[in-house]
Amino acid sequence: MGLQVHGYPNLFTVGAPLASSTAFCNVPICVQQQSEWITDCIRFMTDSNYTVIEATKSAQDDWVEFHDQTASATMLAKINSWYTGGNVPGKPRRVIGYMGGVGKYRQLCDEVASEGYRGFEMR
């Protein structure tokens, strides 16, 4: 969801690729949503006596696939732009921001949290 990268425990990211908070969003509002989600997650970890959190590889792969399917349904995925990597010869093309809408992104984040932070390993 653009909130963590597998292999980097306890590193949360905001405004990162594959999230809704990149270029086609009201960035302060989207980053605020992500920051609140992260704050709630850390509070959950503290209350549950966890000190480490990491996105699972499978959840990360599932999000990338979902993100790419969502993006491929838009015209943006077909343009030759910095936003798709089309301005760098040889660079793999990918829309870098989640194109499913800010409301949907928030809903998906809330669902993950309500399911005990599904897709994240805590210890």
Residue 92: burial class (beta carbons within 10 Å; 0-12, 13-18, 19+): exposed
The predicted pLDDT at position 50 comes to 98
CB 1 within 8 Å of CB 49: no
The predicted pLDDT at position 103 comes to 92
The predicted pLDDT at position 85 comes to 87
Residues of the chain with pLDDT under 70: 23
The predicted pLDDT at position 11 comes to 98
The predicted pLDDT at position 22 comes to 72
Among the residues of the chain, which ranges form H helices? 27-47, 57-72, 102-114
Cα distance between the two ends of the chain: 20
The predicted pLDDT at position 21 comes to 75
The predicted pLDDT at position 6 comes to 98
The predicted pLDDT at position 9 comes to 98
